[in-house]
Structure 1
Amino acid sequence: MRPTLRAAHKRPEHTETTQERLRRLNLTMIVPPLAAAGAVLVAVDARTWWDAAVLTLGVIAGLVVVERWTAGDTSRVALPCLIITAAVWPFGVLVADSHTAFYGITIVGPYLIPQLTRHQGAATLGLSAFVAAVGTAKLLESPDDVPGVLIRYVFIPTGVTVVATGLMFANQLFYKLMEQTRERDAELAVIGERIRFASDLHDIQGHTLHVVKLKITLAEKLLRSDTGRVEEELREVHALVSDTITQTKELAYAQRRLNLSAELENAKNLFEAAGIRVRVNREADVEESVNGLLGQVLRETTTNILRHAQATRVRITLSRSGISIVNDGAREAPLPGLSGLATLKERVGDNGGELTVEQENGRFLTAAAFPSLRSEKLPAAAREDD
């Protein structure tokens, strides 16, 4: 089914566009604040140009991981950046006397751990233990200020690392949910396309089969009394089947478009062949934008009248913004489920219209209207075709 395959094929392009937008959004919202915060921390803590260079290297390694994370590819930079930031933290503690040198590793670690396929908990515990152990080493230089060292070099860095890792796990869950939502959207689009295709196929072949049945029944009745008419009916059946094959091919290649005028002429011929009197009232020319959809409504209604009603009269009214079909001979009991009209009701509604189906006192009304297309002025004169 080519329409279904084409709909499924277009979806990845949309997904790629969405991912690119998310990447740009992440780069805009995450990288500048992280870079600014890192620059401030380096400016505050660095006492020499050497300290500034090493601390800046840790910040840059963290930003590189973030940039690659937004692109979905951290494999090539993960290990080098982790090694750099892991080395900057001990340098800051033991050499530069910087209690903020953990900044780089609290970016790299939380971004990389959620991407692990397993042992994420152990990796989180190991990262936190490393940050805490390096901070504790500061007690070797400052044994007289234990509370201060523990707060600045152990508790705060470790706490920030744990919180940042937890936030990244939540962020990963959010992106997984978004990906699942996109996949569900793609699946629903494919299902919707299949339903549309099945509905159109039902319109074409179901209608044709009922008409063929009607004409064959008529030919059987005339077989002995009017062989010329029988030959004419069989030729029409042959032409109808050929036309249905053509329409089915057009549907498969998404080239089919119903024409209301052709459907109107077809409906008149079918009703007359069944001995049903038809009256057509033309109040105005139908808007081109809804021509095909109103043709579908007329075709489905014609099939339902031939199948479910014992009609003797049908009145079809055309306006600029809609169509109404009224027939007599409707059953007093509730009609069986008209799935074709139910599908058309959704389709008409999706295009801003309303489909009305009413049954009362042996009369059945099917009407489709598009209020937004109604003309402000009434037509000067209406035309009626008997």
Structure 2
Amino acid sequence: MGDGANDRGAGLTSFRRYTWLTVPGTAGCVQLLFVGEWILDEDVEVWARGPAAVALVVAVLASVVLLGRRLALLPVAGTRPGRLPMGWLIAACAAGAVLAVCPLAVRNYGLWAVAPAMVVAIVATYLAPSSRRPLIACAVVLASLPGAVVSLVAGDGKLLYATLFPPGLVAFTVWVMLGPLWAWDTARRLDDARRLEAEVAVKDERLRFAADLHDIQGHHLQVIALKSELAARLVEVDPGRAAAEMKEVRRLAADALGDTRAVVQGYRRTSLDDEITNATRVLAAAEIDARMTVEPATAVTELAEPARHLLGLVMRETTTNVLRHSSARHAEVDCRVTGGLARLRVSNDGADEHPPGTNGTGLGTLRERLQAAGGELTWDRDGERFVVEAALPVKPGNTGNGAAS
């Protein structure tokens, strides 16, 4: 039970204690009770009792150690848990042989198979199921032979009992040992799966937060940089407009701070209508002629909130990419609902030689989120024209978890 501390907090401490008492505890107690009672019987000859007593101590100790170590292992389904400690296995086999020979020599057909059955059960716990079954089958068959031979030679009329009881004892012992151990292994695997699921959930949440933070900060900072550059150019030729641009920079910085706080608190949701409005203003400030088409006119407001959120992220990312990665003079935004799908198409005529990549938290991440929501996101570059197209089901039931992340 040396690694019991690892199970604290996982709901397995009590179950591990119960399994330890059931498997190693039962193995030791059964041998002590049945073989020990026979050793203490004064009718048993001294020459058999002495070696049997020493072998009993070794057998109990080896059984407890071997099964205790087996409990600390977690086998992958269909594979063997690990290598047997050979020193303890040899000690258990030697003790089992002595505890089989001594009772069998005095024709005790019900006792001689106890220790060997324990050895077979212990070895079986360390084997994969494919190797375990042949071992158990062979052990059950062979267990009928020693008692049958001794009974035939002695002619004591106990042939049926001597032949059938030991195989039944072996099968029962293996079943008693493997049952609780199988339950323990299953519980361990389920608990590990639960822990892994929790870790994956935490990582997914971190990725979601990183993506949202990138969407907010990247967009705001790009616009702030653009307006600051514009103000720097205007400061000498048109101080009034330069001051107005710097006021806009200040407002954008305050918005970025507020949006960042909202993301940290988990309240902020990007929406398509807000992002289309924002894109119109930002692209105009960058002297990019932007044409916005929404059909029907109520298409955006009638979309389910998760779809508006995801398409809003696409709109924000593409607007940021136009400012950051292109020298566009014209841009087109087309949003329409057709065939049960909300389609968003954003294009510009100033794509550079290296359009925005698909790695990190940009279009590649958005593609994964739209696919998880039952939609798709594609982009294509044809000469200087770069086109991003997104599609999502209109019905809320089809937006999945990805849309809500």
Cα offsets for 1:68-122 (capped at 9, x unmatched) = 98x55418965997788668868999xxxxxxxxxxxxxxx99988547998966
Distance in 1 between residues matched to 2:321 and 2:208, nearest whole Å: 19
Q: 2:369 aligns with which of 340, 344, 347?
A: 347
Letter in 2 for 1:202: H
The counterpart of 1:363, out of the listed 385, 396, 399, is 385
Instruction: Specify the alignment match of 1:29 in structure 2.
Output: none
Q: Specify the code of the residue in structure 1 equivalent to 2:328.
A: A
The residue identity in structure 2 corresponding to 1:326 is: S
Paired letter, 1:367: E
Q: 1:305 aligns with which of 311, 315, 322?
A: 322
Equivalent residue letter for 1:245 = L
Report Cα offsets for 1:154-211 as digits up to 9, x if no partner. 3331344246535655554444433333332222222222111111111111111111
Equivalence for 1:192: 204
Correspondence for 1:208: 220
CA distance in 2, matches of 1:116, 1:153: 33
In structure 1, the partner of 2:357 is 337
Q: Secondary structure at the match of 1:270?
A: helix
CA distance in 2, matches of 1:186, 1:128: 46
- Candidates 212, 222, 227, aligned match of 2:239: 227
Residue 54 of structure 2 corresponds to: none
Residues 137 and 203 of structure 1, relative CA distance in 2, 3 Å threshold: farther
Residue equivalent to 2:170: 158
- Check 1:129–1:241 CA distance in 2 against 1; reply closer, same or farther (3 A cut): farther
Cα 1:172–1:80 change in 2 (3 A) is closer
The percent identity for this pair of structures is: 31
TM-superposed deviation, 1:236: 1.1
Task: Tell me how far 1:151 sits from its aligned partner.
Answer: 2.7
Is there any run of 5+ residues in structure 2 with no aligned partner, and where?
Answer: 1-7, 39-63, 74-83, 110-150, 397-405
Equivalence for 1:28: none
| SS across alignment from 1:255 | coil
Find 1:281's aligned residue among 281, 293, 304.
293
Taking the aligned partners of 1:242 and 1:124, their CA distance within structure 2 comes to 76
Report the secondary structure of 1:139's partner residue. coil
Of 139, 142, 147, the match for 2:107: 139
Q: Aligned residue for 2:264? A: 252
Amino acid at match of 2:325: H
Q: 2:20·2:68 contact (CA, 8 Å) conserved in 1?
A: no
Report the secondary structure of 2:236's partner residue.
coil
- Root-mean-square deviation (CA), in Å? 4.2
Counterparts of 1:133 and 1:159, CA distance in 2: 20
When residues 116 and 282 of structure 1 are mapped into structure 2, their CA distance, relative to the original with a 3 A threshold, is: closer
How far apart, CA to CA, are the structure 1 residues paired with 2:222 and 2:204? Answer: 26
- Deviation of residue 127 (structure 1)? 11
Shift in alpha-carbon separation, 1:274–1:200, aligned structure 2, 3 A: same
Partner of 1:324: 345
Match of 1:98 in 2: none
Residue 371 of structure 1, CA deviation: 3.9
Distance 2:271 2:355 in 1: 28
Separation (CA, whole Å) in 1 of partners of 2:95 and 2:186: 23
Structure 2 residue aligned with 1:262: 274
Aligned-partner Cα distance in 1 for 2:256–2:95:
69
Q: Is the 8 A contact 1:135 1:154 kept in 2?
A: no
Paired with 1:113 and 1:85, the residues of 2 have a C-alpha distance of 19
Q: 1:127 to 1:276 in 2, by over 3 A?
A: farther
- Given residue 355 of structure 1, which amino acid in structure 2 is its aligned partner? L
**Correspondence for 1:34:** none
Q: Deviation per CA, 1:305-358, whole angstroms, max 9, x where unpaired?
A: 111111111111122413111111123x34241430100001111111111111
Do 1:124 and 1:162's aligned partners in 2 also have CA atoms closer than 8 Å? no
Instruction: Decide which moves more: 342-351 or 110-119.
Output: 110-119
Supply the distance in 2 between the matched residues of 1:238 and 1:87 (Cα, whole angstroms).
Answer: 84
Q: How far, CA to CA, are the matches of 1:207 and 1:131 in structure 2? A: 80
Q: 1:178 to 1:305 in 2, by over 3 A?
A: same
